[in-house]
Structure 1
Amino acid sequence: VDPAPRAPAPPAGPSRRLFVSRVVGGAAAAAAVGTVGYGTYGVLRGPGVKRVTVPLARLPRAAHGFRIAVVTDVHLGPVLGRGFAQKVVDTVNSTQPDLIAVVGDLVDGSVKDLGPAAAPLAQLRARHGSFFVTGNHEYFSGAEQWVREVRRLGLNPLENARTELPHFDLAGVNDIAGEREGEGPDYVKALGDRDRGRACVLLAHQPVQIHDAVDHGVDLQLSGHTHGGQLWPGNLVAGAANPTVSGLERYGDTQLYVSRGAGAWGPPTRVGAPSDITVIELASREA
């Protein structure tokens, strides 16, 4: 004899549905808080070091292994202050670079307010010196004053200018945001009369400046600006607005390296885009 059919379970009442929804919502909230908390901890503890080798066709054998420490998007301000600047400086110096490139968005505020926070930059040490170009945030914060201040701290501003190092040229251009003040990038001034037989590294804050770098025969452009996306939905915005969001890519005969940056803008939180100071090691094909 077949057993009697089992009666269907009564539908879940409102109290059970409410309980389940609260459990799911609570778990999602806990995961979000944990993720943001870990992302904030990652920013506040300071950037890690990333190492990338970049071969340059015109680099002579004598410059093989030349190391450039790339520092971008420190964003000193009310949250990331002098202590954070000291962490950045100590991390850079620990890599013992041949040259230091500070590629814009150093600050979010005036020299009057943030001068003490930036003071540790005077401790940067590299055999061929430290160089600086403006980012868009410098133009929100008084770019002219900051150029004077970083020079006072021992950095060499490259305002649409070039310096000839022993084995390659180092050039820098102002950020695009400077165009509003008549101080935008001038590639002809920085690169127009250079010897094209020498390798050239360009400091330019925004990755979109790569197209002008290609036109002027630059071998390698070093940029920041994107923060690697920092956190959602910033990654979507960064990807739509920039040709490269992070890492090394080639555009014709020019390579572009984009650092994720040392600090953070807005909430001091990164998710999926950890901060970094990148040590670029140049490689000669003659070596």
Structure 2
Amino acid sequence: MNPLHFFTLGYYPEYLFIGVIFGIIIGLYAYFRVKYSLNNTELSKKKKIGLNIIIPILAFACSLNIWSSAAILTLYLFFSSIIADIILIIWKIFLKDKYLNFIPKYHKKGILALCIFAIIIIGGVYGMNHIELTEYNLTTDKIDNESYSIVWVSDIHYGSIQNPQLVKDSISKINDLKPDVVVLGGDIVDERTSKEEMNEIFEELGRINSIYGTYYVFGNHDTQPATTDYENGNRTFSDEELNKTITDNGIKILNDEKISINDDIVLVGRSDAEWENSIDRVDISKLLNESDLSKYVVVLDHQPVEYNENSQQGADLQISGHSHGGQLFPFGFFIQLTGHLVYGKYHFGNMEQIVSSGLTGWGWPMRNEAKCEYVLININ
């Protein structure tokens, strides 16, 4: 990973206010926590004052860009210290002079907080390096005497933060499932994916054996303009090269298009909504009004948006990714606060919505919300 990624994964000024608030809270806490830890030490007064100024300022600065590893690690160090404070309070109330008498000493020196911090980080690294199968079983009266299996794979961000061999092993396991349909749900590559890596991942995905084919819908990172790259916009392949590589490997792109599967299922692939529906795309009512709603209609949309509209227009299932299940606490919590879907299965009228956390993640090489997954959906 480029060392600059520690401090930035893109800069978005609309989030600066959140960073400032976090920075003030964490900076103030750091000031009093450092002062408490340095009390009764043998350091000179000058050094104590220096550390009491430098550490809070550093904590504030690292918190400003919430899309950075520096901010995440600073936040988790803050959480760890708060948890250590709570443990000390519990000890004083219930266990003082009885058990665990080392807690005050380890708390003051910061050892307790660092141990908690280490557990959080190790757990996050473990979460990013384990991929699991998630299975859903759905029923419908629109399909007679048949059952279908759909595998959904999204948000690989290949070549960025996860061991490529883990991805290849998952692709092999998907082959073992012998799915009827495979859908690649966007963000398979992103701005940091090299042209060689882009070719490599689609060659691997093109080897998946599916009875009725493998289909692709774009995500917001697949075709994101190079000017929004993390440092200087060095994306090494064009949209045309991306499209050609996808199709050359036997994968069909559905970009505001639909296709019928065995005259039982209609797949409706959406163009990506980019950043919160910031661009115009074909109205879903047009696509669904032109579809045979007596068939089982599946909307494939990278972002979990327009679900109410899709339900009202007669869709039976929508499959999405994009959210990564939050990936790192507390992002999932804040996504839910804003009214967006995060992870799992939801119901909207007669339509079911499945949101996957993705095969990998984005930006940070850790995960402690949801899990890395590929999704098998059985329609019976």
Match of 1:96 among 175, 178, 181: 178
Q: Which residue of 2 aligns with 1:34?
A: 119
Kept in 2: contact 1:174–1:186 (CA 8 A)? no
TM-score, normalised to structure 2's length?
0.64
**Partner Cα separation in structure 2 for residue 220 and residue 122 of structure 1:** 25
5+ long unaligned stretches in structure 1: 1-12
**1:61 and 2:158 correspond:** no
**1:70 and 2:152 correspond:** yes
- Report the Cα offset of residue 242 of structure 1: 5.1
**Partner Cα separation in structure 1 for residue 122 and residue 103 of structure 2:** 30
- Report the Cα offset of residue 200 of structure 1: 0.5
SS at match of 2:308: helix
- Report the Cα offset of residue 223 of structure 1: 0.6
Kept in 2: contact 1:48–1:276 (CA 8 A)? yes
- Report the Cα offset of residue 125 of structure 1: 1.3
TM-score, normalised to structure 1's length?
0.83
Kept in 2: contact 1:104–1:135 (CA 8 A)? yes
- Report the Cα offset of residue 271 of structure 1: 0.5
SS at match of 1:87: helix
Kept in 1: contact 2:171–2:205 (CA 8 A)? yes
CA distance 1:259–1:35, change in 2 (3 Å): same
Which of the pair has the greater relative contact order for Cα pairs under 8 Å at 6+ separation?
1
- Report the Cα offset of residue 181 of structure 1: 6.9
**1:162 and 2:162 correspond:** no
5+ long unaligned stretches in structure 2: 1-38, 42-101, 226-237
SS at match of 1:138: coil
Which amino acid is 1:147 matched to?
A: N
| Per-residue deviation, residues 6-45 of structure 1 (Å, max 9, x unmatched) | xxxxxxx94699844345x322222222222232233224
**1:128 and 2:212 correspond:** yes
CA distance 1:242–1:176, change in 2 (3 Å): farther
SS at match of 1:228: helix
Which amino acid is 1:157 matched to?
A: I
Give the RMSD, CA atoms, in angstroms.
Answer: 2.6
**Partner Cα separation in structure 2 for residue 218 and residue 126 of structure 1:** 23
**Partner Cα separation in structure 1 for residue 103 and residue 170 of structure 2:** 50
**Identical-pair percentage:** 24
Which amino acid is 1:61 matched to?
A: D
Q: Which residue of 1 aligns with 2:353?
A: 256
**Partner Cα separation in structure 2 for residue 63 and residue 32 of structure 1:** 51
**Partner Cα separation in structure 2 for residue 20 and residue 33 of structure 1:** 15
Farther-moved stretch of structure 1 (120-129 vs 137-146): 137-146
| Per-residue deviation, residues 193-236 of structure 1 (Å, max 9, x unmatched) | 11121110111111123123123211000011111111112112
Number of aligned residue pairs: give it: 266
- Report the Cα offset of residue 48 of structure 1: 0.6
**Partner Cα separation in structure 1 for residue 253 and residue 267 of structure 2:** 12
- Which protein has the bigger strand share? 1
CA distance 1:75–1:241, change in 2 (3 Å): farther
Farther-moved stretch of structure 1 (81-90 vs 257-266): 81-90
**1:211 and 2:308 correspond:** yes
- Which protein has the bigger helix share? 2
